[in-house]
Amino acid sequence: MANRRVLVKRRKAVRNIRKITRTMQLIATARFQAAFSRAMATKPYSDKLAELVADLSRAAGEGVDHPLMYTHEEAESTAMVVLTTNRGFCGGYNANVLRTAIEAIDASQRGVDVHMVGKKGVSYFRFVGREVAERTVDIGETPRFDQVEPLANGLIDRFVKGEIAAAHVAYMRFHSPGRQQPEILQLLPLAVSDLGDGKAAGGGRGRAVEYEFSPEPRALLEDLLPASVRMRLFQCFTDAVVSEQVARMVAMKAATDAAGDMITTLTRQYNRARQTHITMELLDIIGGASQLAG
* Closest by Cα among 237, 176, 207, 242 to 46: 237
Helix runs in the chain, H state only: 4-41, 43-60, 93-107, 119-128, 145-160, 198-201, 217-293
Residue 186: exposed, middle, or buried by beta-carbon count in 10 A (0-12, 13-18, 19+)?
middle
Whether residue 162 contacts residue 77, with contact meaning beta carbons closer than 8 Å, is answered with no
The span from the CA of 141 to the CA of 134, in Å, is 20
Domain boundaries, the chain: 27-250
- For 273-287, what is each residue's pLDDT tens digit? 888 878 887 877 877
φ, ψ for residue 164 (rounded to 5)?
-130, 150
The residue type of 105 is I
Q: What is the DSSP letter of 293?
A: H
Q: d(Cα 150, Cα 81) in Å, to the nearest integer?
A: 13
**Mind listing the pLDDT tens digit for each residue in 193-243?**
665 544 443 444 444 556 676 777 677 777 888 888 999 999 999 999 999
Percent of the chain with pLDDT over 90: 51
Rounded mean pLDDT of the chain? Answer: 85
Report d(CA 82, CA 171) in Å as an integer.
6
Q: Stretch 128-143: mean pLDDT, rounded?
A: 90
How far apart (Å, rounded) are the C-alpha atoms in residues 115 and 102? 13
Q: Determine contact, residues 84/94, Cβ cutoff 8 Å.
A: yes
282, burial (CB in 10 Å: exposed 0-12, middle 13-18, buried 19+): exposed
CA gap 143, 136 in Å, rounded: 12
Pick 61 or 152 by higher pLDDT: 152
Per DSSP, the three-state class of 176 is strand
For 27-250, the fitting CATH number among 3.40.50.720, 3.40.1380.10, 3.40.50.300, 3.40.228.10 is: 3.40.1380.10
User: Which pLDDT score is estimated for 206?
Assistant: 45
pTM: 0.82
Distance from CA of residue 123 to its chain's centroid? 17
CA-only gyration radius of the chain, Å: 29
How confident is the model at residue 202, as a pLDDT?
42
Using DSSP's 3-state secondary structure scheme, residue 153 falls into helix
pLDDT digits (tens, 9 = 90+) for 4-42: 888 899 999 999 999 999 999 999 999 999 999 988 888
DSSP summary character for residue 208: P
